[in-house]
Amino acid sequence: MSRVLVGVKRVIDYAVKIRVKPDHSGVVTDGVKHSMNPFCEIAVEEAVKLKEKKFIKEVVAVSCGPTQVTETIRTALAMGCDRGIHVEVSGKDYEAMGPLQISKIFAALAKKEEASLVILGKQAIDDDCNQTGQMTAALLDWPQGTFASEVTIDGEKVKVVREIDGGLETIKISMPAVLTADLRLNTPRYATLPNIMKAKKKKIANMKPADLGVDEPPTRLAGVKVETVDDLVAKLKANGTI
């Protein structure tokens, strides 16, 4: 019945020193230690906790990227998720991929899997975008509980305590909803060896963004610099944005 989608991202480990490639096209990733984004770990932990408290039946871990992300999905499975989905994107497409495309993928999957909740980390430590959760909610037209430091399920609603600039804000949103996990939501459990061994038997489905009706990311256009605010307003009016 109740199914939760959890997004996990494979990022360069936070303790590793980043090195820019000599041709300045990106950062060196080959052979560099990667791990699950810390906020995604917290998201997985929250989903598994909800399952242990019997509010939900199934937790599905999702990751987008090249073959290596299956390791990250396995860690999520070892922490207690039931099955995984690997949306395969590699090479240049993966480097060009950003929150908008990921959100489209998650929105499509949420509908396909009939999820009641989508739980994501609040941001990834490599790009610090803090956009995927919010965009996913907007695409689905679902309520969002971002920067969650406490999540309580109350019937068909979710009470979320959010960490905001001014302090803590408590909101009550109806399900289905998108939540993003903040640091103090929980302390993630370890993926212990017996669980990793069991996780090898859990299924990871493989698909491409095209299978979900999501196109390739558009090529990024160059920006334009303007001198004054009036110029900016004029340009925005000219291209129809406002």
Partner 1 sequence: TRECLLTNAHAHTNISQAARQKNSDTFSCGLYTWRWKCSSAVTPRITSHYTICPRDKDPRWEGVEMERFADEADVVIVGGGPAGLSAAIRLKQLANEQEKELRVCLVEKASQIGAHTLSGACLEPSALNELFSDWKERGAPLNTPVTEDVFSLLTKKYRIPVPMLPGLPMNNHGNYIVRLGHFVRWLGEQAEELGVEIYPGYAAAEVLFHEDGSVKGIATNDVGIAKDGSPKDVFERGMELHAKVTLFGEGCHGHLAKQLYRQFNLRENCEPQTYAIGLKEVWLIDEKKWRPGRVEHSVGWPLNRNTYGGSFLYHLNEGEPLVALGVVVGLDYTNPYLSPFREFQRWKHHPFIAKTLEGGNRIAYGARALNEGGYQCLPKVTFPGGMLIGCSPGFMNVPKIKGTHTAMKSGMLAAEAIFPKVTAKDLASETAGLHVPEYEDNLKKSWIWKELYSVRNIRPSFHSYFGLYGGMVYTGVFYWILRGKEPWTLKHAGLDSAQLRPAKECTAIEYPKPDGKLSFDLLSSVALSGTNHEGDQPPHLTLKDDSVPVANNLAIYDGPEQRFCPAGVYEYVPLETGEGMRLQINAQNCVHCKTCDIKDPSQNINWVVPEGSGGPAYNGM
Among 97, 171, 183, 196, indicate the residue that binds partner 1 (CB under 8 A).
196
What is the smallest separation between the CB atom of 15 and partner 1, expressed in angstroms? 3
Among 84, 176, 188, 217, indicate the residue that binds partner 1 (CB under 8 A).
188
* Other beta carbons within 10 Å of 190: 9
Tokens of 225: 């610099």
Question: What CA–CA distance (Å, rounded) separates 14 from 35?
Answer: 8
What is the smallest separation between the CB atom of 237 and partner 1, expressed in angstroms? 47
- Maximum Cα interatomic distance, the chain, rounded to a whole number of Å: 63
Question: What CA–CA distance (Å, rounded) separates 66 from 86?
Answer: 9
Confirm or reject binding of residue 53 to partner 1 (CB under 8 A): no
What is the smallest separation between the CB atom of 221 and partner 1, expressed in angstroms? 32
Q: Which residue number, 197 or 232, has a Cβ lying nearer to partner 1?
A: 197
Q: Which residue number, 13 or 169, has a Cβ lying nearer to partner 1?
A: 13
What is the smallest separation between the CB atom of 194 and partner 1, expressed in angstroms? 4
Confirm or reject binding of residue 187 to partner 1 (CB under 8 A): yes
Question: What CA–CA distance (Å, rounded) separates 6 from 210?
Answer: 20
Confirm or reject binding of residue 223 to partner 1 (CB under 8 A): no
Tokens of 237: 């009016």
Question: What CA–CA distance (Å, rounded) separates 151 from 196?
Answer: 27
Q: What is the 3-state secondary structure (H, E, C) of 171-211?
A: EEEECCEEEEECHHHCCCCCCCHHHHHHHCCCCEEEECHHH
Q: Which stretch binds partner 1 (CB under 8 A): 29-37, 47-55, 201-209, 225-233?
A: 29-37
Question: What CA–CA distance (Å, rounded) separates 6 from 178?
Answer: 10
Q: Which residues of 53-72 are buried (b: 16+ CB within 10 A; e: fewer)?
A: eebbebbbbbbbbeeebbeb
Tokens of 240: 């129809």
Q: Which stretch binds partner 1 (CB under 8 A): 166-174, 193-201, 214-222, 226-234?
A: 193-201
Confirm or reject binding of residue 208 to partner 1 (CB under 8 A): no
What is the smallest separation between the CB atom of 33 and partner 1, expressed in angstroms? 4
What is the smallest separation between the CB atom of 25 and partner 1, expressed in angstroms? 14
Q: Which residue number, 166 or 194, has a Cβ lying nearer to partner 1?
A: 194
Residue numbers 9-28 binding partner 1 by CB under 8 A: 13-17, 19, 22
Q: Which residues bind partner 1 (CB under 8 A)?
A: 13-17, 19, 22, 30-33, 35, 187-190, 192-194, 196-197
